[in-house]
Chain A
Amino acid sequence: MDYRFQYGVVWQNLDALFQGAWLTFQLGTLSFAGGALIGLICAAIVAYGPFLIRFPVHVYVVLITNTPALIQIYFLYYGLPEFGIRLSSEACLLIGLILNAGAYLTLIMRAGFLSVRRTELEAGVVLGMSVLQQIRFIVVPHIAKSIYPALANFFIVILVMGTSIGSIIGVDELTGQAINLSSVNYRWLEYFTVVALMYVVLTFVASIGLAALGRWACRVRARIF
């Protein structure tokens, strides 16, 4: 193997990579937040809603969780223009990821909803709480505690796996920047090793932040490793 690693070009373009990392972080956080909102609503519907609304939600979850995120985003990116809707690649990625995360988070949160004890809900009914109030004051504090580790894990997945899909449709996040830069001078291995390290650091920072947040807000001991 006569390959010589030359990292010089990578250090020169490091700030472009940092910009990519920042965009990755923004996209990951936004799509997780959007997905969490959809997930919460859908999980509440699955747990308490009548059959007529429960069924479409169920179909949505099954359809999304059984097809690749890449195909969903391709569908938005290449399919929607045929109906006259043209979205930028960032918007496509973001909408695709939010829909995708929403389905997976519905599954995670449903498990949380089901783990709430019936007696607690009955106590809420006795106190005259409406369904929305029950969710706000009984269910959410409870599931925030019980599914926190699963949520933190999923955040890492969407931050890393999800956003890197953007590079395929031309979003300049971390992987996209690496592809752009390395196709100029073919130092693929150098760029991608550095980018891999940056992903590791980024997710570690995110994990530590999430663990601190979990300890402060929900008193969970989240594991970082």
Chain B
Amino acid sequence: MDRLVEQIPRFFTATNMMMLAEAAYMTLAMTIVGCLIGFGLAFVLVYLRQTPGLWALPLRIVCVTYVEFFRRIPFLVIVYLVLFFIQALTPDASLFTIAVIAICLYSVAYTADIIRGGLESVPHTQVEAARTMNMSRFRTLIMVVLPQAWPVIIPPAIAFAVSFIKDTALVSQIGVFELTFRGKELNNQGYSGVLVFGTIALCYFILSFPLTLLGQHLEKRLATPRGQRSARKIRRT
């Protein structure tokens, strides 16, 4: 306990704080880049998965298997697999790239389910109406389904990305200079574990808490307005 108090002035120096700020930036950059690319790819995956027709059956099977596999493998194992696979392919890929690829692979599987749920929440009659008006599948998606599916897709997608800020802590295992890695480094320099990991936890909290609140706010705002919701209920009954 005395050691902890005695270390505090030595720990909170400008250099250490700059290092932590850079590490926090790294964590955030990794998450944002990985989740954005993952979100785009997940759309493609869902679009392919919904391809109708018997000839597309293998395609659908591949998409379903991908989602099921990557949701059931721990992120840490994915990180290791990507690391060793990429290093076997191109030995000089940067660790940041490897981390982003791993995050992509994982977030595609999770967001694909979110997007599919959103698209399926749109009443099927609307799709049939668009089909009757001879709209192509892509046009139906862009002009009919998506505008109504956004409020269902966006809040859980943001919640997923925010929760992923915390899961990127596991990437420290392959040596990306992010918050957890720096924390481990400082701890190895002899600073007290309570002090170091308390500070690192605080950094994560500062990154994640405002974004969580933002996500909850968006969820409330994007929820269907009251009048519309009751109208829909009446139509169903």
Residues of chain A touching chain B, judged by Cβ–Cβ distance below 8 Å, are 1, 3, 62-63, 65-72, 74-75, 77-79, 81-83, 156, 160-161, 163-165, 167-168, 175, 178-179, 188-189, 192-193, 195-196, 199-200, 203-204, 225
B111 CB to closest chain A CB, in angstroms?
Answer: 15
Closest to A206 in B: B72
Contact of B88 with A by CB under 8 A: yes
* The residue from A189, A193, A196, A200 contacting B88, defined by CB atoms under 8 A apart: A189
Note all chain A residues with C-beta closer than 8 A to B68. 200, 225
Note all chain A residues with C-beta closer than 8 A to B183. 71, 74
Q: Which 5 A-B pairs have the closest CB atoms?
A: A78-B193, A164-B74, A68-B169, A68-B166, A79-B193
Note all chain A residues with C-beta closer than 8 A to B72. 156, 160, 199-200, 203-204
A69 touches B88 (CB 8 A): no
Contact of B177 with A by CB under 8 A: no
A180 CB to closest chain B CB, in angstroms?
Answer: 13
Residue among B1, B68, B74, B169 having the largest count of chain A Cβ atoms under 10 Å: B74
0 or 1 for each of B183-207: is its CB under 8 Å from A? (1 = yes): 1100100001110111011001100
Closest to A161 in B: B74
Contact of B73 with A by CB under 8 A: yes
Among the stretches B47-55, B77-85, B94-102, B126-134, the one at the interface with A is: B77-85
Give Cα distance in the complex from A62 to B183, angstroms: 22
- In the complex with contacts A66-B209, A82-B1, A175-B76, A74-B81 CB distance below 8 A: no
Residues of chain B touching chain A, judged by Cβ–Cβ distance below 8 Å, are 1, 3-4, 64, 68-69, 71-78, 80-81, 84-85, 88-89, 166-167, 169-170, 172-173, 180, 183-184, 187, 192-194, 196-198, 200-201, 204-205, 208-209, 212
Give Cα distance in the complex from A192 to B201, angstroms: 30
List, sorted by A's number, 20 A–B pairs whose CB atoms are closer than 8 Å: A1-B88, A67-B204, A69-B169, A71-B197, A72-B201, A74-B183, A74-B193, A75-B194, A75-B201, A78-B196, A79-B194, A82-B1, A160-B74, A167-B76, A189-B88, A196-B69, A196-B77, A199-B73, A204-B72, A225-B68
Note all chain A residues with C-beta closer than 8 A to B167. 68, 161
B75 touches A1 (CB 8 A): no
Give Cα distance in the complex from A3 to B89, angstroms: 8
B72 CB to closest chain A CB, in angstroms?
Answer: 4
Give Cα distance in the complex from A200 to B67, angstroms: 11
Note all chain B residues with C-beta closer than 8 A to A66. 166, 204-205, 208-209, 212
B88 touches A3 (CB 8 A): yes
A82 touches B74 (CB 8 A): no
Question: Secondary structure of the A side of the interface?
Answer: helix
- In the complex with contacts A66-B208, A82-B1, A189-B85 CB distance below 8 A: yes
B75 CB to closest chain A CB, in angstroms?
Answer: 6
B46 CB to closest chain A CB, in angstroms?
Answer: 15
B193 touches A68 (CB 8 A): no
Note all chain B residues with C-beta closer than 8 A to A160. 72-74
B120 CB to closest chain A CB, in angstroms?
Answer: 13
A105 CB to closest chain B CB, in angstroms?
Answer: 15
Give Cα distance in the complex from A188 to B82, angstroms: 11
A78 touches B197 (CB 8 A): yes
Note all chain B residues with C-beta closer than 8 A to A163. 74
B196 CB to closest chain A CB, in angstroms?
Answer: 8
* The residue from A63, A196, A225 contacting B81, defined by CB atoms under 8 A apart: A196
Give Cα distance in the complex from A63 to B184, angstroms: 21
Note all chain A residues with C-beta closer than 8 A to B64. 225
B198 touches A168 (CB 8 A): no
Note all chain B residues with C-beta closer than 8 A to A161. 74-75, 167
A199 touches B74 (CB 8 A): yes
Note all chain B residues with C-beta closer than 8 A to A75. 193-194, 197-198, 201
Note all chain B residues with C-beta closer than 8 A to A189. 81, 84-85, 88
